[in-house]
């Protein structure tokens, strides 16, 4: 019984340790994702600011500032300028494509140029990862000088898919690794013989638990692992009644399955292997269990 409790205790400690390790790993993965997001979004803001800078230069303005990029929502940004400017639509499209190609999360986005005064749309276009789905019109036209705000909206589903895919992938890997580890470190079933010695004398029968053998008058009879486990329980308590439930629990509980008739079958096999010595027999104690009866 103590061996079973130790085995269960070892399993419980392992499961607790693995659960704790998995929890820490998931937290670290989530933290890493957050740090990565902050880096990617900071880099994106720099790229958007570069777009504004290029527009000022092509407008002939090399002194005024691009105002700080505003993050309106999680996926929408706004570029604004200190002074008025003019721009050519084709140049704006090529410039945003060139810089946002360096953004690892910018697959699909919409660019909208608004007039500062009334927020009306001066120009707009959509860029997709699949170029056939691009919506770009009115190229080659130069917009009049004025106050403009440029809104860039990124498709959110792609960003979430990348983050969620990484996160779910991490959890799946942890679950798989845990399964492999649990199987690989599962404590092997140790025969009680390892704790109580391997050789036992039962009348004229010599019971070698370590090598799973019975030696009777120099003749050797092999035992199965289960037969050895059952006989060892009896050998450690000769002439004492062993409850049926105790035998079932000690022999089969580790396997998670207890079949009542299996015990009777193994007892019957052991009786036949011990019948060479009439002074050694496994008897039934009605309504209680069994006893290894050894007569003097």
Domains in the chain, ordered, with CATH? 11-160 (no CATH), 193-294 (1.10.10.10)
* Whole-prediction pTM: 0.45
Average pLDDT of the residues in 15-23? 60
pLDDT at 168: 64
Q: Can you tell me whether residue 190 is helix, strand or coil?
A: coil
Taking each helix axis from N to C end, the angle separating 2-58 and 89-100, rounded to the nearest 10 degrees, works out to 150
Strands (E), the chain: 70-73, 76-80, 109-115, 121-127, 148-154, 199-202, 205-208, 213-216, 219-222, 241-243, 280-285, 289-294
For residues 283 and 291, the answer to whether their CB atoms sit within 8 Å is yes
Average pLDDT of the residues in 210-220? 89
pLDDT at 151: 92
**pLDDT grade for 25, boundaries at 50, 70 and 90:** low
Mean pLDDT of all residues in the chain? 78
For residues 4 and 247, the answer to whether their CB atoms sit within 8 Å is no
**The residue count for the chain:** 296
Alpha carbon distances (Å) from 102 to 42, 106, 109: 13, 8, 14
DSSP 277: S
Q: Can you tell me whether residue 117 is helix, strand or coil?
A: coil
Determine which of 103-107, 117-121, 209-213 has the lowest per-residue pLDDT on average.
103-107
pLDDT at 169: 63
For residues 241 and 284, the answer to whether their CB atoms sit within 8 Å is no
Only one residue has tokens 């080659």, namely 140
CA dist., res. 52 & res. 56, Å (int): 6
Strands (E), 39-155: 70-73, 76-80, 109-115, 121-127, 148-154
**pLDDT grade for 179, boundaries at 50, 70 and 90:** low
More confidently predicted of 232 and 296: 232
């Amino acid at each position: 019984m103590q061996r079973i409790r130790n085995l269960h205790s070892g399993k419980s400690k392992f499961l607790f340790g693995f659960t704790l390790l998995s929890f820490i790993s998931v937290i670290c993965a989530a933290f890493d994702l957050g740090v990565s997001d902050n880096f990617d979004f900071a880099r994106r803001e720099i790229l958007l600011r570069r777009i504004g800078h290029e527009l000022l230069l092509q407008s002939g303005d090399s002194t005024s500032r691009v105002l700080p990029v505003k993050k309106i929502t999680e996926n929408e940004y706004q570029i604004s300028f200190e002074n008025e400017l003019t721009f050519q639509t084709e140049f704006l499209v090529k410039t945003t494509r060139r810089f946002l190609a360096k953004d690892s999360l910018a697959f699909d986005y919409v660019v909208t140029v608004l007039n500062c005064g009334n927020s009306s749309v001066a120009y707009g276009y959509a860029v997709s990862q699949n170029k056939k789905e691009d919506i770009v019109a009115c190229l080659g036209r130069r917009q009049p000088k004025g106050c403009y705000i440029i809104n860039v909206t990124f498709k959110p589903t792609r960003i979430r898919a990348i983050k969620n895919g990484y996160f779910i992938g991490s959890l799946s890997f942890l679950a798989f690794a845990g399964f492999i580890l649990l199987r690989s470190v599962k404590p092997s079933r140790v025969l009680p013989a390892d704790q109580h010695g391997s050789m036992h004398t039962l009348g004229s029968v010599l019971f070698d638990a370590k090598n799973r053998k019975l030696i009777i008058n120099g003749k050797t009879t092999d035992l199965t692992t289960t037969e050895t486990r059952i006989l060892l329980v009896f050998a450690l308590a000769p002439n004492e009644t062993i409850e049926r439930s105790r035998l079932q629990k000690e022999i089969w509980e580790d396997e998670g399955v207890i079949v009542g008739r299996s015990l009777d079958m193994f007892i019957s096999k052991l009786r036949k292997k011990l019948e060479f010595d009439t002074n050694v027999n496994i008897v039934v104690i009605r309504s209680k269990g069994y006893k290894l009866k050894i007569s003097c």
